[in-house]
Structure 1
């Protein structure tokens, strides 16, 4: 959702109930339940999971 509001060159805003890590982690989980086999594919889900992992590593470093 923040992709529509904030350009990629800017850091996404931090709020108490939203983070890019959480956003990507939820998408990785939810795409497993979609009907479209291209999106449900493990490779697609892994892309979102890897993005979530990167955000998590940055946050903890």
Structure 2
């Protein structure tokens, strides 16, 4: 369903994912999940991470451009 959603919804999907990631699992949640989610939010706010769909390129992909 995410693949068929509008590109305009990408930021909302990321925000919802980060919120879920912070809280999922209760006492078994990811180590320092809130801090990790906040780092991702800060990276988006400072334009070090793009919220645009298909913007991520791995190092491997970058070598072939």
Give the TM-score normalised by the residue count of structure 1.
Answer: 0.42
Give the TM-score normalised by the residue count of structure 2.
Answer: 0.40
